[in-house]
Chain A
Amino acid sequence: MIRGSAIAGLLRHFLLTLRLNIRSTQALVYGYLVPVFFLLAFGSVFRADTPPLLSQVGQLLTITILGGACFGLPTGLVAERERGVWRRYRLLPVPTGGLLAGTLLARLVIVASAVLLQLGLARLIYGTPLPLHPMQGIAAYFVVAFAFLGLGLLVAALAGDVPAVQALGQCLFLPMIMIGGVGVPLSALPIWAQRLAGFMPGRYAVDVLQRCANDPRGLAGAGFSLIALLVIGAAAGIAGNKLFRWDAGRRAGRRELAWAGVALLAWLAVGCAALATGRLKSVLPPGGGYGTITDAQMESITYDDLTGDNELVTRLAPPFNPAQRPAFAAEFAAKLRDWPPGRVADAAQRVRHLLSVAAIADISADLHEAEIGRVVFEELQLRVDPERLRLVLAWIILQPDEGRFLTRTPELGLRRQPPEPLVRERSIYYAKKYLGRLLGKIRD
């Protein structure tokens, strides 16, 4: 049991850690000047965006938290350990874990102050709007900081001296900055790097922070990212605590080093879970349009999750025999030909509207749902040239949240009005079935 005097001591240690941070030139440079430098660097590139820098807030804050947690925390801890400060602390009548917790808490406050400084300066210099969901933003900050402070603690435990902290910290920092979706946006990365980023916490940190900055839905739908960060943070934190050394002369044994493997396993588990649940889809540049789709992105689309054409959902009739075309198909095709939403100028939106028809028929379990699916496929091929159709379908599959899908088409004889998310989901399935056939990936 911790006595009252021990609590007073731990509180004093926490406050003193904050005070000493302010007195250290190195801590001020790395903790505040470097984040400001990143802000100015991002500002020089994205200041012309509307609104300026808002779409980069997630990346900017992730860099700040990552730097503070993976460099600031272990550098301070290891420098103190090298000097023998922790050796002296060890003689105090409190568990070392209590002092360590105070140090982590102080770092949480220090990094939060750097984040607030960055947001304030972005608003002041570039007019960047403040985050859309501030309360959710605070929650997201805690989760991201938890993940990165856990990693920082592990770095402190593994590094023998301050130069080793720099080396280990860079091993975490640089990959996340370059190919982890933190420094370079995911959409600008090749497919393999986008997939690899799914195994790193940086991608999830950017996701949750960015959602709080400008996504109207906030953290809704960010469950996986939040859990990924908590898992990675917990594994690293536990490993860091197990491996933590208060004495510079001590070295971890092989059995203890296995804990570092546990921390890495968490990254692997998160990446595999993201891959298995289809979360590592190719990310396209926002507003780039279907014209930006690359061959590699087209190739990254998988078809394993599709059901058979005769199963319950997304049914699709085989190609019609021109000599014996069913009467319903001919009649429905004629209706579709005069249907205004199927004639809009924007090819991507036109395709979405037509996909909605197949999806509504499917969800409504229409008597002719399979034939409607086939008629829609034929109409798409008639109304959009083949190359463009492939690009548009790929775009719709890779950007499932974009565009508008219809939920009501009574003029086509489809009376039911299913919910929009369901129509969107089924439309994407149909898009895959069609694209697979156009690319020869699925036999028709």
Chain B
Amino acid sequence: MSSPPPAGIRVRALSKRYGTIAAAQEVSFEVAPGEIFGLLGLNGAGKTTVIECLLGLREPDAGAVEIEGIDARKNPAEARRRVGAQLQFAALQDKITPREALGLFAAFYPAAARPGDLLEQFDLTAKADAPFDSLSGGQRQRLFLALAVVNQPQVLVLDEPTAGLDPRARRELHRLIIAMKSAGRTILLSTHYLEEAHQLCDRIGILHEGRLIATARPADLIAGARATPRLAFRTTQPLAAAAVAALPGVTRHEPMADGWSLSTQDANRTIGALGQLLATGGNEMLDLQIHRPSLEDVFLELTGRAWMETTAEEQR
């Protein structure tokens, strides 16, 4: 009986401290071959530390890291040959062109992809000879993705690849990441964007203050959340608080401009009763929004902090 193939990435009890700060504490996870695993967390949660230890850019204090079964701490050169990476805090020289950059990086590997093919694959042919400082944010990130696969690795580590990109460029990058997964690659993706993690990742690990506090499929994480659906609606005439509170299934209600925001255990029944209430009183619904529980709710439950608030704070 043959043994199962090794995990694309295996991290065991990884710990790293910077002075008194524990950047990573006993972090363990596996990324199966062909899987996209999302590492989700706020700034300072430890995502970059974990990724840097995994890539051999930092020496962990304890723990083990394997890339396709190769011990990255004992054999870093071989591990590096098997992994492709796009780093968050990395750039290229201002005047280097995509063709030169791909040619340079390809030259270090015995079985590298052809730069011309990569330029085409990542839609950079038109900019092949343009200096790096003239490329847009999206083009730069596409170039970094191309550089990450220049050694034709089966394992990819992408550290916030879509950070700072406009929605269109982000969608384009999502397409490329999905294409890389379709090609059978194992991908570890760290991201700030919950929607992106939900859309792209097969599984998600939530990092908080250096600890991996949850690991599961996005749908399973949401299904396990205690959060209930939320309804937000506006009406032509004001509704009394008591009438809203009396709607079936409602557990919480808060006023908002020209309407109410409420949590319900049974969205269908609540909406039905709300329609009847409005018709009886000659009132009219201006708009109605249904918010299903999301990763944001999961994050709030697990960390006690709201994702939107914390990311807004960080941006400030």
Q: A and B bound?
A: yes
Please give the residue numbers on chain A whose beta carbons come within 8 Å of chain B beta carbons, in ascending order: 3-6, 8-9, 11-13, 16, 19-20, 23-24, 80, 83-85, 87-88, 90-94, 247, 249
A-facing residues in B177-226 (Cβ within 8 Å)? none
Chain B residues with CB under 8 Å of A8's CB are 107-108
Chain B residues with CB under 8 Å of A20's CB are 93, 95-96
Q: Which of B92, B104, B108, B147 contacts A6 (CB 8 A)?
A: B108
Assuming the contacts A91-B55, A91-B57, A93-B81, asked whether A16 and B96 have C-beta atoms less than 8 A apart, the reply is yes
For the complex, what is the distance from the CA of A296 to the CA of B39, rounded to whole Å? 73
For the A-B complex with A3-B110, A91-B57, A91-B87 known, give 9 more contacts whose Cβ atoms are closer than 8 Å.
A5-B107, A9-B104, A9-B105, A24-B95, A83-B90, A85-B93, A87-B90, A88-B147, A92-B80
Closest to B84 in A: A91
Cβ of A12 and Cβ of B104 under 8 Å apart?
A: yes
Chain B residues with CB under 8 Å of A90's CB are 57
Cβ of B95 and Cβ of A5 under 8 Å apart?
A: no
In whole Å, how far is B18's beta carbon from the nearest beta carbon of chain A? Answer: 10
Cβ of B109 and Cβ of A5 under 8 Å apart?
A: yes
Cβ of A23 and Cβ of B80 under 8 Å apart?
A: no
Interface residues on B, range: 20 to 34
Which of the listed residues A84, A92, A94 has the most CB atoms from chain B within 10 Å of its own CB? Answer: A92
For the complex, what is the distance from the CA of A88 to the CA of B91, rounded to whole Å? 7
Chain A residues with CB under 8 Å of B96's CB are 16, 20
- A-B contacts, 13 listed (Cβ < 8 Å): A4-B110, A12-B107, A16-B100, A20-B95, A23-B95, A83-B92, A83-B93, A84-B90, A91-B55, A93-B77, A93-B80, A93-B81, A93-B109
Chain A residues with CB under 8 Å of B105's CB are 9, 92
The 8 closest A-B pairs by CB, nearest first: A9-B108, A84-B90, A23-B95, A9-B107, A88-B90, A83-B91, A12-B107, A5-B110
For the complex, what is the distance from the CA of A83 to the CA of B140, rounded to whole Å? 14
B85 within 8 A of A: yes
Assuming the contacts A88-B92, A91-B55, asked whether A12 and B77 have C-beta atoms less than 8 A apart, the reply is no
Cβ of B108 and Cβ of A5 under 8 Å apart?
A: yes
Interface SS of chain A: helix, strand, loop or mixed?
A: helix
Cβ of A92 and Cβ of B90 under 8 Å apart?
A: no
Chain B residues with CB under 8 Å of A84's CB are 87, 89-91
Chain B residues with CB under 8 Å of A6's CB are 108
Chain B residues with CB under 8 Å of A92's CB are 80, 105, 108
For the complex, what is the distance from the CA of A83 to the CA of B85, rounded to whole Å? 17
Closest to A76 in B: B93
Which of the listed residues B89, B95, B108, B109 has the most CB atoms from chain A within 10 Å of its own CB? Answer: B108
Chain B residues with CB under 8 Å of A19's CB are 100
Type the 1/0 row for B92-132, where 1 means its CB is closer than 8 Å to any CB of A. Answer: 11111000100111011110000000000000000000010
Which of the listed residues A19, A84, A93 has the most CB atoms from chain B within 10 Å of its own CB? Answer: A93
In whole Å, how far is A204's beta carbon from the nearest beta carbon of chain B? Answer: 34
Cβ of A85 and Cβ of B91 under 8 Å apart?
A: yes
Closest to B57 in A: A90
Closest to B86 in A: A88
Q: Which of B55, B90, B107 contacts A85 (CB 8 A)?
A: B90
Which of the listed residues A24, A84, A91 has the most CB atoms from chain B within 10 Å of its own CB? Answer: A91
Cβ of A87 and Cβ of B108 under 8 Å apart?
A: no
In whole Å, how far is A245's beta carbon from the nearest beta carbon of chain B? Answer: 12
Closest to B151 in A: A93
In whole Å, how far is A408's beta carbon from the nearest beta carbon of chain B? Answer: 69
Chain B residues with CB under 8 Å of A88's CB are 87, 90-92, 147
Chain B residues with CB under 8 Å of A23's CB are 95, 131
Assuming the contacts A87-B87, A88-B87, A247-B57, asked whether A93 and B93 have C-beta atoms less than 8 A apart, the reply is no
For the complex, what is the distance from the CA of A85 to the CA of B100, rounded to whole Å? 14
For the complex, what is the distance from the CA of A87 to the CA of B89, rounded to whole Å? 8
Chain A residues with CB under 8 Å of B94's CB are 24
Cβ of B108 and Cβ of A93 under 8 Å apart?
A: yes
For the complex, what is the distance from the CA of A3 to the CA of B96, rounded to whole Å? 25
In whole Å, how far is B145's beta carbon from the nearest beta carbon of chain A? Answer: 13
For the complex, what is the distance from the CA of A20 to the CA of B94, rounded to whole Å? 9
Chain A residues with CB under 8 Å of B93's CB are 20, 80, 83, 85
In whole Å, how far is B310's beta carbon from the nearest beta carbon of chain A? Answer: 22
For the complex, what is the distance from the CA of A20 to the CA of B105, rounded to whole Å? 16
A-facing residues in B261-315 (Cβ within 8 Å)? none
For the complex, what is the distance from the CA of A92 to the CA of B77, rounded to whole Å? 9
Chain A residues with CB under 8 Å of B80's CB are 91-93
A-facing residues in B50-108 (Cβ within 8 Å)? 55, 57, 77, 80-81, 85, 87, 89-96, 100, 103-105, 107-108
